């Protein structure tokens, strides 16, 4: 382990302000890498070098002339895991500075150990994320000879039955993007904490999508849990989020295919504003919808209605929606719309005349049904 220059400079700035003494951090080669006395940075501290080479518990320098590159003061080793990784030097008379030495040394060692633990944990999390991403995105990954052994070494129980849930925040404009980004960061942390409620539940980021591998649970529970998370995020952080999840529980050999299912369900949830949480089992026409771009959906509507005004298209499709909801019954549809049956008949005939397609004819009903779904999604 080495003493990094940024860390050493940070410690020097903080400690020298508190103690009003010159502080030096010296690396394993005896070179001063950080000091409150800027002129000494880069010079060799022979007193510290002697301390390191002879593995001394400390060294007190009585005079500026005692060791080349050294000044009067106390120097103490920074020991981590029984290894001297550097030296702390405090310039000044022994009686004045030695009382600070041991406190500073122990604080520094504790801080370095803590940082080392954080770095180790971050590295382990990165390795787990890489493994999970490879597992989900590449069907052949399960055939790699070290797949099971690597999973075991990372503490991942691949044989547990799992589900895949994917989430994506909805982009939105704001006059204060810094504040909005801060809220997004908080919402992201909440999302991960809320979804990862078990040590064998995993979260990773693939592009802009948040992917969660959760333990076996029913569709209804997933929907309820996602709905509660979505409501909290909207109310607390003012961000909207959509969810998609796979068809059902799978074993580790099927992870890639169920990842694709969850991805398609999320794409559908992003395309249909009225259905922010969707499971793959729920997808019917939405499966097609999720594969079509917004411009292509708009082009289909414009082609069917021959460039008519949006307000007329809205009214016509609402009329068709009610008609189809009542299985084509003019009487029931007109009652629902609070208009006379003859008025509805006239409107339907007019729509047929304008588009060339009768919304009551079996061959035209699919066209209007698709247009209705596309219009709602846009």
pLDDT by residue for the chain (378 residues), tens digit each? 677 788 888 888 878 777 777 889 999 999 999 998 889 999 999 999 999 999 998 899 989 889 999 999 999 999 888 889 889 898 888 877 777 777 888 888 888 888 888 888 889 999 999 999 999 999 999 999 999 999 999 999 999 999 999 999 987 777 778 888 999 999 999 999 999 988 899 999 998 899 999 999 999 999 999 999 999 999 999 999 999 999 999 999 999 999 999 999 998 888 777 789 999 998 876 677 667 778 888 999 999 999 899 999 999 999 999 999 899 999 999 999 999 999 999 999 999 999 999 999 999 999 998 898 888 777
Residue that finishes a domain, picked among 238, 272, 289: 289
Could you tell me if residue 145 is inside a domain?
no
- C-alpha pair distances (Å), 271 with each of 247, 288, 312: 19, 11, 23
Could you tell me if residue 152 is inside a domain?
no
Beta strand spans in 194-273 (E): 202-206, 209-215, 241-245
Co-location of 260 and 194 in the same domain: yes
Could you tell me if residue 180 is inside a domain?
yes
What is the rounded CA–CA span in Å between residue 273 and residue 283? 14
User: H or E element: which one contains 162?
Assistant: strand 162-169
Instruction: Give residue 293's Cα distance to chain centre.
Output: 25
- Which structural domain range is residue 343 located in? 294-377
Could you tell me if residue 126 is inside a domain?
no
Domain count for the chain, please give it: 3
């Amino acid at each position: 382990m080495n003493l990094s220059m940024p860390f050493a400079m940070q410690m020097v700035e903080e400690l020298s302000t508190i103690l009003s003494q010159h502080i030096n951090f010296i690396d394993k080669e005896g070179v001063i890498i950080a000091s409150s006395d800027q002129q000494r940075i880069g010079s060799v501290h022979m007193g510290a070098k002697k301390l390191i080479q002879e593995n001394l518990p400390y060294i007190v320098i009585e005079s500026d002339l005692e060791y080349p590159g050294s000044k009067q003061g106390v120097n103490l080793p920074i020991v981590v895991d029984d290894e001297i990784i550097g030296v702390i030097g405090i310039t000044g008379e022994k009686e004045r500075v030695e009382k600070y030495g041991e406190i500073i040394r122990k604080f520094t060692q504790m801080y370095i150990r803590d940082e080392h633990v954080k770095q180790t944990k971050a590295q382990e999390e990165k390795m787990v994320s890489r493994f999970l991403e490879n597992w989900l995105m590449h069907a052949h990954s399960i055939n790699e000879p070290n797949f099971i052994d690597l999973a075991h070494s990372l503490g991942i129980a691949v044989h547990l039955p799992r589900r895949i849930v994917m989430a994506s925040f909805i982009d939105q404009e704001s006059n204060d993007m810094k504040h909005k980004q801060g809220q997004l960061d908080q919402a992201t942390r909440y999302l991960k904490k809320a979804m990862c409620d078990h040590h064998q539940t995993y979260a990773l980021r693939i592009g802009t999508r948040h992917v969660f591998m959760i333990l076996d649970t029913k569709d209804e529970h997933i929907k309820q849990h996602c709905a509660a998370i979505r409501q909290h995020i909207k109310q607390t952080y003012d961000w909207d989020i959509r969810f998609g999840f796979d068809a059902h529980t799978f074993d580790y050999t099927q992870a890639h295919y169920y990842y694709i299912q969850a991805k398609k369900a999320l794409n559908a949830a992003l395309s249909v504003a009225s259905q922010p949480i969707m499971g793959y089992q729920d997808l019917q026409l939405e499966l097609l919808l999720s594969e079509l771009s917004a411009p292509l959906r708009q082009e289909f509507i414009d082609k069917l209605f021959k460039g008519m005004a949006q307000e007329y298209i809205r009214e016509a499709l609402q009329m068709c929606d009610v008609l189809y909801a009542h299985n084509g019954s003019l009487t029931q549809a007109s009652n629902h719309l609070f208009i006379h049956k003859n008025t509805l008949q006239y409107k339907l005939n007019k729509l047929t005349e304008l588009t060339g397609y009768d919304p009551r004819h079996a061959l035209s009903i699919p066209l209007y049904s698709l247009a209705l779904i596309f219009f709602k999604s846009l």
